[in-house]
Amino acid sequence: MQLVLVAGGAGFIGSHLCRSLLKDGYKVVCVDNLITGDKKNIEDLLVNPEFKFVEQDITKSVQSSKFIPIKSGQSLDYIFHLASPASPNKKSKRSYINHPVETLLVNSVGTFNLLELAKKENAKFLYASSSEIYGDPKVFPQNEEYFGNVNPNGIRSCYDEGKRFGEALTFAFIRKYKVNARVIRIFNTYGQNMHIDDGRVVSNFISQAVINKPITVYGDGSQTRSFCYIDDMIDGLKRSLFIDKTDKEVINLGNPIELTIIELAGLIKKMTASSSEIVFEKLPEDDPKRRRPDIAKAKRLLSWEPKVPIAQGLEKTIKYFKRVIEL
């Protein structure tokens, strides 16, 4: 049985990944320091003998045996590095804006520790980067060749530059130590297990709409994003690490269907049959105006593209939020 380490495994994407890997027959070690992740996301997995949760900060040394609770003779085969705050909303205590130093460290020191581990264990490594490395892009859609347009010391720089450093470090280990690694740039993703006070647009709009509170559109709502449902993202992430010849690659994963934020607000309002009014608030600093992935490379290398239409994904997400809010 192969062993997979998921750093950030109690977070939104990480928890879905752990569940899916267990279903596929892998042994999973989930590491999380829970600053933005939540143990509730993995509660049902804790009884599974093939699943181990370790509460640890990966910026601290990961060389101790406590870190990989494996029997002697068992090797570590794969590492997914998904550990990082990821919400830009300063109103959320879970956002990277409120954890700027932790965000920079988990993507630098944390990435270094995990790459050292991959080197030592000869494990295949996936670094979860982000569409944020493109900053406020001037190229549409964004393909992997584009270098981006990033403010190096703006309010979002802890995340953008953290991810850019993480990419550079991953490639340094590929070039210098021949570590089998790849960089995956995740675009906006949504679904169950997003935290209700995560602050990102889908969770905010749904949690506002289901209780008929005002839906807060920042700016005039003409900015765009492209939303990928979690099941599609998990499928893409697994292909990116488990398919041969994906090492040394940088691959965008996301849904290429672009929506304006005002369109998203209208759609969620309609789907929840909400009486919420749509209100307009100040656009946050350095908020990217347009974002849409070019996924030609993922199609070619992984035979992957998103399958879940936004209405179907939102329906499942709304159901989840209604359940959480009622509790």
Contact call for residue 223 and ligand UDP (CB under 6 A): yes
Rank residues 172 and 279 by Cβ distance to ligand UDP and give the closer one.
Answer: 279
- Residue 118 Cα distances to 29, 111, 112, 145, 224, angstroms: 14, 10, 10, 26, 37
Rounded to whole angstroms, how far apart are CA atoms 22 and 117?
A: 22
**Given candidates 97, 261, 302, 314, which one binds ligand UDP under the rule CB under 6 A?**
261
Nearer to ligand UDP, 144 or 287 (CB): 287
Q: Does 142 bind ligand UDP (CB under 6 A)?
A: no
From residue 265 to residue 284, the character string flagging contacts with ligand UDP as x (rule: CB under 6 A) and all else as - is -------------------x
229 given a catalytic annotation: no
The one catalytic residue among 26, 127, 159, 229: 159
Residue 159 CB, shortest distance to ligand UDP, in Å, is 8
Q: Are 205 and 272 in contact (CB under 8 A)?
A: no
Please identify, using beta-carbon distances, which residue of 160 and 235 lies nearer to ligand UDP: 160
Strand segments, DSSP code E, in 74-210 are 78-81, 124-130, 181-186, 189-190
Nearer to ligand UDP, 129 or 188 (CB): 188
Beta bridge partners of 28: 4, 51
CB of 130 to ligand UDP, least distance (A): 8
Q: Give the three-state DSSP class for 72.
A: coil
Helix (H) or strand (E) holding 162: helix 157-177
* Entry field: residues in the chain: 327
Tokens of 281: 């608030």
Q: Which residues are catalytic?
A: 159
Binding residues vs ligand UDP (CB under 6 A): 87-89, 188, 200-201, 204, 216-218, 223, 225, 261, 284, 287
